[in-house]
Amino acid sequence: MKKKIVIILIFVSSGLFIFNQIKNAITTVKSGSQLPKEQQIVKKLEQENAQLQQKLNQVENPEFVEKIARDQLNMSFPGETVVVLPKDQASQSAQVINQLTGTNWQRWYHLFFN
């Protein structure tokens, strides 16, 4: 009777051991097929992180903060005066600059003597 119980316990424990080994093997095979997908996701996230880091460095730059404050918020340093030109006048001044041709010294000569 004791031998039968021992044999049954050996078979049951062997069966559980084999079942767990098969389960682990199946899990390992499934994990291997997911690895390339996960590597692509990691690569995408690293690229996004690099872009965000670059943007953060740009935004933390004091020159960028000053440019945004001046251009979008019309702020200035003490003692400075902000001048806002109408859009058509600003485009006219850009056209005048574009119309000037020649080398730099010729443009200066034209500015002072014509």
Decide if 58 is inside a domain. yes
Instruction: Please answer whether residues 110 and 100 qualify as being in contact, where contact means their C-beta atoms are separated by less than 8 angstroms.
Output: yes
Task: Provide the domain count of the chain.
Answer: 1
Residue 81 within any structural domain of the chain: no
The answer as to whether 30 is a domain residue is: yes
- Let me know if residue 25 belongs to a domain: yes
What b-and-e string marks burial along 78-103, b requiring 16 or more CB atoms within 10 Å of the CB?
A: eeeeeeeeeeeeeeeeeeeeeeeeee
Whether 17 is covered by a domain: the verdict is yes
Predicted confidence pLDDT, tens digits, the chain (114 residues)? 888 888 898 989 999 999 999 999 888 888 777 778 888 999 999 999 999 999 999 999 989 988 888 888 878 888 888 777 676 655 666 666 666 666 778 778 877 887
Contact 94, 88 (CB under 8 A): no
0.75 exceeded by pTM: no
Q: What is the residue range of 72's domain?
A: 2-76+86-113
